[in-house]
Structure 1
């Protein structure tokens, strides 16, 4: 039987630290900290909820990140 693969690790980062940033600054910071997939969303967006390792989601309203979560 093949070994069970070990999934890659999430960056050691605090998603709440992105709240208040403009989307461009948030994206630059996230890439520098090791996030590989970024998703900027308007409030109330209908999104898929599968967990993607290395993905950071930004809810952007009025040109600022108002919510941020991983996966």
Structure 2
């Protein structure tokens, strides 16, 4: 059997703290806090829903984060 790959962990971070921030500020803060991937999406975007450890997702409307979630 193959070894389990070494996957990144999610940073110890409250993802709700990004709601209300501007897109660029939120992305920079998330990277500074250790998120390996930051994805900004428009409301209603069609996205894949596979879980990716270390990824933070933002739903952005009018350049402001309205929702955030990990994976």
What TM-score does the superposition give when structure 2 sets the normalisation length?
0.90
Q: 1:36 to 1:6 in 2, by over 3 A?
A: closer
**Which structure 1 residue ranges, 4+ long, deviate > 2 Å from structure 2?**
1-8
SS in 2 for 1:58: strand
Q: How many residues align?
A: 71
Q: Which residue of structure 2 aligns with residue 8 of structure 1? A: 8
User: C-alpha displacement at 1:62, in angstroms?
Assistant: 1.3
Give the CA deviation at 1:4. Answer: 3.7
Q: 2-side partners of 1:7 and 1:42: how far apart? A: 27
**Counterpart in 2 of 1:25?**
25
Aligned to 1:54: 54
Q: CA–CA distance in 2 between the matches of 1:2 and 1:43?
A: 39
2:67 counterpart residue number: 67
